[in-house]
Chains A and B, each alone.
Chain A
Amino acid sequence: MVKEEKEIANRPDNTAFTQQRLPAWQPMLSAGIVIPGFVLIGLAFIGIGVALFVTSRSITVLEIDYTGIEKDSPCYKCSDSDAKNCVCNLVFSIDSLFEGPVFFYYGLSNYFQNYRKYAASRDDEQLSGDLDAFTAPSDSCSPYNYNSNDKPIVPCGAIANSMFNDTFVLYRVVNGAKQLVPLDGKGIAWWTDYNVKFRNPSVTPLKNAFNNTVKPIFWPKPAYQLDTSDPANNGFINQDFLVWMRRAALPDFRKLYRRITDGDYAKGLPAGNYSLTIAYNYPVVSFDGRKKVVFSNVSWMGGKNEFLGIAYLVVGSLCVLMSMVMLIVYAKFKFPEED
């Protein structure tokens, strides 16, 4: 009896798992599956590629550099760092209807928003409206946390401090008369940034929350006065501020400035001459940067991007090509295990 029990105790379990005999699917990537698979994938990719390519082609983009390095540039005078409150006028024309809705971006190049020290130089607690962080900004904001008088800077940090502050006004020139094109600044930032991530302190008026703090050194106006026209667009939930705070991935980037959706321009910008009045405040020449404005419409795939379409076309045709090659090899050599 005891012996039997011992035997049972010692005998290994005879289960599929312990004996490594679990039922298993053993896929075979044979030519019979791969060739049609490749053809299908290839065709699907070519299809998507064509769609992408066509869509991308249909997107109109107008890019104008206004850094003012070149002497003939209208902003040449403003590119001098001594010029204060410089305003320049950029005149351009559109040949045919610029289909709407038109998105108005500003672009910077050789600008490292992804620089590590720069990226870390913010205080999310402050930006979520925590009043404690107003009086004692995080060390990560240094050297933009206290001013020379040891007053806390709100919003602190390099990112906030360097907020893009060129402003643009777009006119349509009709018969020599300037007609203001309304720009819509709503909904240009992520919904969650505007509604959840960034919060103003719940103090009314907002100005009081900023007592005993100073505005960022570079800013002309404190945070609660960013948008004088719309009181709800002030403080940390100012759309331009939010757009700026979402740092770009690469040193050449564009950020959404406005949308042209209102009234007559909902259909797009009609052909004609336009004048863009730029309040040139943002210095880029010192670090060899460039500034530009971009008008673009978007599609289901976002902005114009030829890369994706071409890549799909190339990969798709590659798949088809490979399946051809495989077919030839298959026909010639007859893979032995295919019955």
Chain B
Amino acid sequence: MLRRRLNRWLGRDERRVDSRSICVGHRSSSNNEAFIPPKFCDNRIVSSKYTVWNFLPKNLFEQFRRIANFYFLIIFLVQVIVDTPTSPVTSGLPLFFVITVTAIKQGYEDWLRHKADNEVNKYPVTVLEQGRRVRKESEKIKVGDVLEVDEDETFPCDLILLQSSRDDDTCFVTTASLDGESNHKTHYTVPDTEKDLESLNATIECEQPQPDLYKFVGRMHIYKTDQEPAVRSLGPENLLLKGSTLKNTQTICGVAIYTGMETKMALNYQGKSQKRSAVEKSINAFLLVYLCILVSKALVCTTLKYVWQNKPGQDEPWYNEKTQREKDTNLYLKMFTDFLSFMVLFNFIIPVSMYVTVEMQKFLGSFFITWDKDFFDPEIKEGALVNTSDLNEELGQVEYVFTDKTGTLTQNNMEFIECCIDGFQYKYQDAGTDLDGFCVTDGPVNKVQHKAGREKEELFLRALCLCHTVQVKESPEQGQGQGQRDGLMDQVDGLGADGLGTDGEGLHPPPQEQRGFIASSPDEVALVKGAMRYGFTFLGFESKTMKILTRDNDVERYELLHVLNFDPVRRRMSVIVRSKSGDTLLFCKGADSSIFPRVRQEEVERIRMNVERNATEGYRTLCVAYKYLNAEEYAQADAGLREARLALQDREEKLMAVYNQVETGMSLIGATAVEDRLQEEAAETMEALQGAGMKVWVLTGDKMETAKSTCYACRLFQRNTELLELTVRTLEDGGRRREERLHELLLEYYKKAVQDAPPVKAGVTRAWSSANHDYGFIIDGATLSMVLNSSSESNSSRYKNLFLQICQNCTSVLCCRMAPLQKAQIVKMVKNSKGSPITLSIGDGANDVSMILEAHVGIGIKGKEGRQAVRNSDYAIPKLKHLKKLLLAHGHLYYVRIAHLVQYFFYKNLCFILPQFLYQFFCGYSQQPLYDAAYLTMYNICFTSMPILAYSLLEQHICMEVLLDNATLYRGIAKNGMLQWGPFFYWTLLGVFHGLLFFFGVRYLFGNPALQDNGQVFGNWSYGTIVFTVLVFTVTLKLALDTRHWTWINHFVIWGSLAFYVFFSFFWGGIIWPFLKQQRLYFVFANMLSSVSAWLVIILLILLSLLPEILLVVFRKPRGPHTGQMKPVHSSAGGHQSPRSSARPLLMRTFSDESNTVI
């Protein structure tokens, strides 16, 4: 950790020297004598934290940095140093236990890391040195080494690809272990490098290592004898990352540029920032209270001790003289040590074991999520994943749900539905009625069956076939043979999509129906497949040539000149190809908003109608345009692109400028519509969440129309929901300045939603005002940034405030056209708003990562857009529908369990220590412990720990089905309800009551200590043992009373602990223990049991302590939905939130042009 951080710092320092220079193969360029090879770190990966030597000190240091452990250490040290009432063992043993267990766990984990490191570091690699192949251990690789990597091997460090065994100078790579995307990505060799690597004399100049996996800029200088050095640009497409695997390529050679801890993988290897749950904050607050109680108890005792001692004869009665040393000690020092002694005596009020139990509960409890078979998705064959167990209970506290749309609310399983060419609508129909496989339906656009010209059709289909980054999946042994590709499946990020088999019929030519396509975005595959249906099949790349099979069974070849990659800002991508005939063409596809301004306007109207109709029907629409480039234009574009790609600084900006320049003046050919279905049970899930009082915000990068229809389809907006729109469109309505209009609208909405709304009662009816007016709020990215970054400082905070208040009074909020960062901004804003509500973000794509990290709880969907969201999430589930059970059942139960656990722990330690405190008043404030050391130590470890642990793992105060049927139950625990000061006060009071009862009950019994029928008397250890027995039984039975769900495990641990206590007491008191200095408890317990009075007082006190509890349970029962078991009859009332919504006729399918990153 330290090392990594150090590296990071060093890295940062180095970055000031902007770039590093590397000599390929360590052959320094001849013209540069003064070149001193810079020192780079070796290729050792160190993910382990410790070595054998530093394990003990370092681990201990780390452990004692935790404030709780440190506190216990201090207590222990005080016990060792100062003469204290309890032996250091009583607190040392538990502490030792906790520390040892943690150390063993961490040691084991580190050992595993060492093993993994070794495996990586000792892995044999092939290095080319002076023409020879040398086998080396991976850790010996130095920057500048030229390595050879074979197929299916993992790259040992970050390499620049120099040579590939493939003809087209490419290689395929999967980065599954880096970002989880298992699609094959194409990487390119550096152009113009010599085939003979031995004679290659080149230096690479590249930026210093940085963690972004997708960014890399560099430059390669190739020195050739008798020639000017050539300069080639290097980009991410030339960089092979450590951790990724070579695929479909026999062997490659590359030069190491980043090694060891400087590789991008190592730089990315870091824990996420720790999220802390609200429960943990409550625990800390309660701890503080208890710490205050502890200190004040110690202060009170110390003060009273000295007041009492001032009375004559009390300080040093003749029977208890002080030692000389005690007499000599300074009074104030004595006071201080007395204070410390009291602290030690009462320190059990804050038990070590609580932390252990809480951790265990969280750790073990999280297994129930992984184990839940309802979360298992047969399609991806995976269940839920728990990345952190710290937040289990937070799942029961969610107030705001931020959800992504694409892939989360919708399936991201794209299907080509229709297209529109030149204003004519084409809808594919299965039956091959039309010979062309084309069929024109009579849409609203053209009543007469018209078709666009064949030329236009073919141009459009060619565009679809060419303008993409899809690859055809090759099976390794069959190579390039087309006919042999049958049976391959599509592959989108490793998920075998099996859609193709069904839509294959009617294709020409039939033998190639099944074809595997690989792309990182499902839209592209859908489009290519769509084109295939209409007879244009993309056959794949052959070096830089794209082959397509036309309707007439001709194979056409196009030379791919440039790919203008997709990015979310431009929202479009283009390719520049050169056809056989020598024409240079640019094909561009993208969102309507980004295409329309760049085409000739007269074409737009015809297609716009289609696009808008498709959008309202909820399809994802893309527009396709093209343009011919004449030689001059191309030369200019080509030069611009090359130059921009070579730039070391601001490459992105420069590229963007060139792209924008090239992609103008195009002609629109048509538009496509792709369907993205709603996730299973999306509507039911959303409804349940709203029923549970959560506010659902949809944050999407999508268009407003499509997003809105998704919201309707998911029943986030109901028909009677009044929509408050704050978008660019509404801002421009008034024809006034946007700023003014924004101000006006905000105030108007505020008045509507906040001021005029009837005061909503907090808690029970919160957000559930179906009878009243529902408001939905819509805002788009541009307007949001206006709200957040208003020109004047004062307005900004005011707008933000207004905006928040409006949103908080709306049932759902839709934010469309959001950039990923804006999503996080919104989450952050809500998170930090008044009352700091608990937020949850759910998403499936890389663009959701920022909001997943920002929210209190981040949930990733194991969707199709790679695994980045899953990796960064706290919990990952396969489908959106699982969110309902995760929150309503698991979350609710976890919260109730841990809240009870925490309260119970404080309670049981309060009534444990209170009698000991009270005893001080009867023993001359001498810190005499009431209980024996064994009891003090074992109370929290053995006697009372297991029942509460079992309870906190198994309790279901309401069974899961009822929780799921009755979303409203979730509100009962909202706002950390069980850990507020109220309940805490109640539990504290209960603890005080019990403590007083135990102590004084026995105190009055001991008014006459002759408790045996033979007249013998009981001493102080009998007193303590009686109190302790009552304590253990009461505390355990109190838990038994609270347990609503008695499994055999509960029975076993509850009765088992009590039996164990009795057994232990007999055993402990039954033997003269040779290692004990004082046999205090010898036969005390057995003697106690021989006294009838002791039995009677124990029974009496237990019953009396529990009496109020029982009464409370009985009286509280009829009220409040969550106190008892709900009968199904009862529950149906709550689940009926929406007869009207289920009757909704319109189940709109909704889609968007929110496309994904394409590499």
Residue numbers of A with Cβ under 8 A of B are: 3, 6-7, 10-14, 18-20, 22-31, 34, 41, 45, 48, 52, 101, 103, 105, 111-122, 124-125, 128, 138, 140, 142-144, 158, 161-162, 187-190, 192-193, 196-197, 218, 243, 246-251, 253-256, 259, 283, 286-288, 296, 298-305, 307-308, 311-312, 315, 318-319, 322, 326, 329, 333, 335-337
**Contacting residues, chain B, for A196 (C-beta < 8 A):** 1072, 1082-1083
Residue numbers of B with Cβ under 8 A of A are: 85, 311-314, 317-324, 367-368, 370-373, 375-376, 378, 381-383, 922-924, 926-928, 954, 956, 959-960, 1001, 1003-1020, 1022-1024, 1041, 1043-1050, 1072, 1076-1079, 1082-1083, 1087, 1091-1093, 1096-1097, 1100, 1103-1104, 1107, 1110-1111, 1113-1115, 1117-1118, 1124-1125, 1127
5 further A-B pairs in the complex, CB-CB below 8 A; given A246-B1019, A307-B1005: A19-B371, A114-B928, A125-B1077, A251-B923, A329-B1115
Q: Known interface pairs A116-B85, A196-B1082, A302-B1011. Does A253 touch B1017 (Cβ–Cβ under 8 Å)?
A: yes
Closest chain-B Cβ to A30's Cβ sits at a distance in Å of 7
**Contacting residues, chain B, for A315 (C-beta < 8 A):** 1100, 1103-1104, 1107
Q: B319, A118: Cβ atoms under 8 Å?
A: yes
Q: Known interface pairs A10-B376, A124-B1078. Does A20 touch B954 (Cβ–Cβ under 8 Å)?
A: yes
**Contacting residues, chain B, for A246 (C-beta < 8 A):** 1017, 1019
Closest chain-B Cβ to A244's Cβ sits at a distance in Å of 10
Query: Quick one: which of B376, B959, B1083, B1127 contacts A337, CB cutoff 8 A?
Result: B1127
Rounded to whole angstroms, the CA-CA distance of A197 and B956 in the bound complex is: 50
Q: Known interface pairs A115-B320, A143-B324. Does A28 touch B922 (Cβ–Cβ under 8 Å)?
A: no
Q: B1008, A247: Cβ atoms under 8 Å?
A: no
Q: A158, B376: Cβ atoms under 8 Å?
A: no
Closest chain-B Cβ to A5's Cβ sits at a distance in Å of 11
Q: B318, A283: Cβ atoms under 8 Å?
A: yes
Q: Known interface pairs A29-B1110, A299-B1013. Does A12 touch B373 (Cβ–Cβ under 8 Å)?
A: yes
Which residue of chain A has its CB nearest to the CB of B958? Answer: A26
Q: B1008, A335: Cβ atoms under 8 Å?
A: no
Q: A112, B926: Cβ atoms under 8 Å?
A: yes
**Contacting residues, chain B, for A296 (C-beta < 8 A):** 1010, 1015
Q: B1007, A307: Cβ atoms under 8 Å?
A: yes
Rounded to whole angstroms, the CA-CA distance of A162 and B1082 in the bound complex is: 23
Q: B1111, A322: Cβ atoms under 8 Å?
A: yes
**Contacting residues, chain A, for B954 (C-beta < 8 A):** 20, 22
Closest chain-A Cβ to B396's Cβ sits at a distance in Å of 15
Which residue of chain A has its CB nearest to the CB of B959? Answer: A26
Closest chain-B Cβ to A164's Cβ sits at a distance in Å of 10
Which residue of chain A has its CB nearest to the CB of B1004? Answer: A307
Q: A305, B923: Cβ atoms under 8 Å?
A: no
Q: B320, A117: Cβ atoms under 8 Å?
A: yes
Q: List 21 A-B contacts (CB under 8 A).
A: A6-B381, A18-B368, A19-B371, A19-B373, A20-B960, A22-B1049, A34-B1110, A114-B922, A115-B926, A119-B1020, A162-B318, A192-B1083, A249-B1024, A256-B1015, A288-B311, A298-B1013, A302-B1091, A303-B1008, A305-B1008, A322-B1107, A337-B1118
Q: Known interface pairs A10-B383, A20-B956. Does A298 touch B1015 (Cβ–Cβ under 8 Å)?
A: yes
**Contacting residues, chain B, for A27 (C-beta < 8 A):** 1043-1044, 1046
Q: A140, B1077: Cβ atoms under 8 Å?
A: yes
Q: B1019, A116: Cβ atoms under 8 Å?
A: no
Closest chain-A Cβ to B1033's Cβ sits at a distance in Å of 16
Q: A302, B1010: Cβ atoms under 8 Å?
A: yes
**Contacting residues, chain B, for A138 (C-beta < 8 A):** 1077
Q: Known interface pairs A48-B1096, A249-B1018, A337-B1127. Does A22 touch B321 (Cβ–Cβ under 8 Å)?
A: no
Select the residue from B322, B1003, B1072, B1096 with max chain A CB neighbours within 10 A.
B1096
Rounded to whole angstroms, the CA-CA distance of A157 and B423 in the bound complex is: 109
Which residue of chain A has its CB nearest to the CB of B1076? Answer: A124
Q: Known interface pairs A11-B376, A27-B1044, A287-B317. Does A119 touch B928 (Cβ–Cβ under 8 Å)?
A: yes
Rounded to whole angstroms, the CA-CA distance of A144 and B322 in the bound complex is: 9
Q: A251, B1093: Cβ atoms under 8 Å?
A: no
Query: Quick one: which of B381, B1013, B1023, B1104 contacts A301, CB cutoff 8 A?
Result: B1013
Q: B317, A305: Cβ atoms under 8 Å?
A: no
Closest chain-B Cβ to A195's Cβ sits at a distance in Å of 10
Q: A25, B1012: Cβ atoms under 8 Å?
A: no
Rounded to whole angstroms, the CA-CA distance of A302 and B383 in the bound complex is: 65
**Contacting residues, chain B, for A302 (C-beta < 8 A):** 1008, 1010-1013, 1015, 1091-1093
**Contacting residues, chain B, for A287 (C-beta < 8 A):** 313-314, 317-318
Q: B1007, A34: Cβ atoms under 8 Å?
A: no
**Contacting residues, chain B, for A13 (C-beta < 8 A):** 371, 373
Q: B319, A158: Cβ atoms under 8 Å?
A: yes
Closest chain-A Cβ to B365's Cβ sits at a distance in Å of 10
Which residue of chain B has its CB nearest to the CB of A18? Answer: B371
Q: A336, B1006: Cβ atoms under 8 Å?
A: no
Closest chain-A Cβ to B351's Cβ sits at a distance in Å of 23
Q: B371, A249: Cβ atoms under 8 Å?
A: no
Closest chain-B Cβ to A59's Cβ sits at a distance in Å of 10
**Contacting residues, chain A, for B922 (C-beta < 8 A):** 114, 249-251
Q: A318, B371: Cβ atoms under 8 Å?
A: no
**Contacting residues, chain A, for B1078 (C-beta < 8 A):** 120, 122, 124
**Contacting residues, chain A, for B312 (C-beta < 8 A):** 288
Q: Known interface pairs A19-B371, A315-B1103, A337-B1117. Does A303 touch B1077 (Cβ–Cβ under 8 Å)?
A: no
Query: Quick one: which of A22, A112, A124 contacts B1079, CB cutoff 8 A?
Result: A124
**Contacting residues, chain B, for A112 (C-beta < 8 A):** 317, 320, 923-924, 926
**Contacting residues, chain B, for A10 (C-beta < 8 A):** 376, 381-383
**Contacting residues, chain A, for B1006 (C-beta < 8 A):** 249-250
Closest chain-A Cβ to B571's Cβ sits at a distance in Å of 37
Q: A115, B1014: Cβ atoms under 8 Å?
A: no
Closest chain-A Cβ to B939's Cβ sits at a distance in Å of 20
Q: B928, A115: Cβ atoms under 8 Å?
A: yes
**Contacting residues, chain A, for B1018 (C-beta < 8 A):** 249
Rounded to whole angstroms, the CA-CA distance of A124 and B1074 in the bound complex is: 11
Closest chain-B Cβ to A76's Cβ sits at a distance in Å of 19
Query: Quick one: which of B322, B1082, B1125 contacts A28, CB cutoff 8 A?
Result: B1125
Closest chain-A Cβ to B947's Cβ sits at a distance in Å of 15
Rounded to whole angstroms, the CA-CA distance of A256 and B1013 in the bound complex is: 13
Q: B319, A162: Cβ atoms under 8 Å?
A: yes
Rounded to whole angstroms, the CA-CA distance of A305 and B277 in the bound complex is: 53
Query: Quick one: which of A12, A101, A105, A162 contacts B376, CB cutoff 8 A?
Result: A12
**Contacting residues, chain B, for A14 (C-beta < 8 A):** 373
**Contacting residues, chain A, for B1003 (C-beta < 8 A):** 250
Q: B371, A128: Cβ atoms under 8 Å?
A: no
Q: B1125, A116: Cβ atoms under 8 Å?
A: no
Rounded to whole angstroms, the CA-CA distance of A188 and B381 in the bound complex is: 76
Closest chain-A Cβ to B1044's Cβ sits at a distance in Å of 6
Q: B1004, A197: Cβ atoms under 8 Å?
A: no
Q: B1082, A197: Cβ atoms under 8 Å?
A: yes
Q: Known interface pairs A196-B1072, A303-B1015. Does A298 touch B1004 (Cβ–Cβ under 8 Å)?
A: no
Q: A114, B318: Cβ atoms under 8 Å?
A: no
Q: B1114, A30: Cβ atoms under 8 Å?
A: yes
Query: Quick one: which of A11, A18, A34, A115 contacts B923, CB cutoff 8 A?
Result: A115
Closest chain-B Cβ to A48's Cβ sits at a distance in Å of 7
Query: Quick one: which of A18, A52, A105, A326 contacts B1114, CB cutoff 8 A?
Result: A326
**Contacting residues, chain A, for B1087 (C-beta < 8 A):** 190, 192
Q: A114, B1007: Cβ atoms under 8 Å?
A: no
Query: Quick one: which of A114, A124, A311 contacts B1020, CB cutoff 8 A?
Result: A114
Select the residue from B313, B960, B1113 with max chain A CB neighbours within 10 A.
B313
**Contacting residues, chain B, for A105 (C-beta < 8 A):** 1010, 1017
Closest chain-B Cβ to A168's Cβ sits at a distance in Å of 16
Q: Known interface pairs A248-B1009, A249-B1022, A308-B1093. Does A12 touch B320 (Cβ–Cβ under 8 Å)?
A: no
Which 7 pairs show the lowest CB-CB distances between chains A and B? A162-B319, A303-B1010, A249-B1023, A18-B371, A287-B313, A116-B926, A249-B1020
Select the residue from B319, B1022, B1049 with max chain A CB neighbours within 10 A.
B319
Closest chain-B Cβ to A247's Cβ sits at a distance in Å of 5
